[in-house]
Amino acid sequence: LAFSKIEHVNSELLALTYGALVTQLLQDIEQVDEVNAKLEKIGYSIGVRLIDEFLAKSGIPSCADFRETAEVIAKVAFKMFLGITADVVNWSDNNEFSLILTENPLAEFVELPENYSGLWYSNLLCGVIRGSLEMLQMKVACYFRRDPLRGDDVTEIRVELKEIMIEQYVDDE
Amino acid sequence: EVAEASFAFLQIELINYLLAQGEDGVRKLDNIGYQMGIRLAERLTRDRPRFADNLEIIKFICKDLWSYLFRKQVDKLQTNHRGVFVLADSNFPWIGSFSSSASSDSVKEAAQDWLVFPCAIIRGALSSFGVPCTVQPDISALPRCWFTVRLTK
């Protein structure tokens, strides 16, 4: 798969920076649920801008349906931005699926202390997915189901299509 | 390896989040950069012999650390041989978005805040080699950027 002009950095740099962000949020906010929400929100604002980079560099034409969208996220977007691919599994009604990640560059060298057991460490990813799909008129709910940091065998992110937004045009006449 | 864009987007969010907290956030940003500098220096020097002197350490910063962070080396290194080193980067990538409109003072001030992060990384890396210092950025000619490292020991 060829992308146009993607520059790369060491994944360790991303992991360390992300770790610094999560640590800072835990210090500033304290409530783990609120940290999860804040990470998702930060991811959302990344997603709404990241989608432009994705469309410009990937050369992927628009997807025919949500199944194709899922494959593009798993095989193209994850590859492009995180250097890994995900598997798409557990479809339900053609509008819900799970992404399975066998490795997670954000969570390199991370161990969760017990008092943070309610933390979804990589929740930023859910926000990125929600934000970028919203820019493509797809309203989704996105959340973690499994995370090796919590003792699970793999990372599972659930994505549920809620609504396809119709672009609104203001009619002057 | 991950896309540089992923890191850039994340870095923007981290810095915006902190700078929204004012002075306090600048202090936190400085601390985060400092800790990252220590960790990066430890990782990058794990398999190499000890440095012979301070100049060798500074050269490591200009080549290895710079390549790791910015995918290139420092363009020019100058020193007065009395503990002051000036590292010049002709096109500093982490403030790229400020470069185009850097004529106004307010933009320069904002860019100055952003540079707290890389300056603290450099300071952290040097401190991990037992070289305490201050690092002062100069952005009077963006996108060119000078970093003045003053050893304090």
Percent of residues, chain A, with pLDDT higher than 90: 83
Could you say which of A10, A17, A18 has the minimum Cβ distance to residue B1?
A10
Estimate the share of chain B in helix, then strand, then coil, as percent rounded to the nearest 5: 55, 15, 30
Q: Are B74 and B88 in contact (CB under 8 A)?
A: yes
pLDDT for A1:
59
Q: Which residues pair with A161 in a beta bridge?
A: A140
Minimum-distance CB partner of B9 among A6, A8, A50? A50
pLDDT tens track, chain B, 153 positions: 999 999 999 999 999 999 999 999 999 999 999 999 999 999 999 999 999 999 999 999 999 999 999 999 999 999 999 999 999 999 998 886 665 555 677 777 888 889 999 999 999 999 999 999 999 999 888 888 999 999 997
Count of helices and strands (H, E) across chain B = 7, 5
Please identify among residues 68-107 of chain A the ones whose CB lies closer than 8 Å to any CB of chain B: 80-83, 105
Burial (Cβ within 10 Å: 0-12, 13-18, ≥19) of residue B12: middle
Backbone Cα Rg of chain A:
17
Calpha distance A61→B28 (Å, rounded): 42
Contact B9 A12 (CB under 8 A): no
A130-151 pLDDT, tens digit per residue, is 999 999 999 999 999 999 999 9
- Using the beta-carbon criterion (under 8 Å), do A17 and B40 form an inter-chain contact? no
Span A34-83, pLDDT tens digits: 999 999 999 999 999 999 999 999 988 888 999 999 999 999 999 999 99
The phi, psi pair for A118, rounded to 5°, reads: -85, 0
- A30 pLDDT more than 80: yes
List Cβ neighbours of A6 (8 Å cut-off, separation of 6 or more).
A57, A80, B3, B4, B5
By the 8 A CB rule, do A96 and A159 touch?
yes
Q: Hey, are the CB atoms on A6 and B2 less than 8 Å from each other?
A: no
- Bin A109: left if φ > 0, else alpha if -120 < ψ < 50, else beta: left
Interface test mutation site (partner B, options A7, A29, A54, A55, max chain B beta carbons within 10 A): A7
Beta strand ranges found along B10-144 (DSSP E): 76-79, 84-89, 133-138
Task: Count CB neighbours of A69 within 10 A.
Answer: 21
> Pairing state of beta strands A155-164 and B76-79?
unpaired
pLDDT band at residue A170 under the 50/70/90 scheme: low
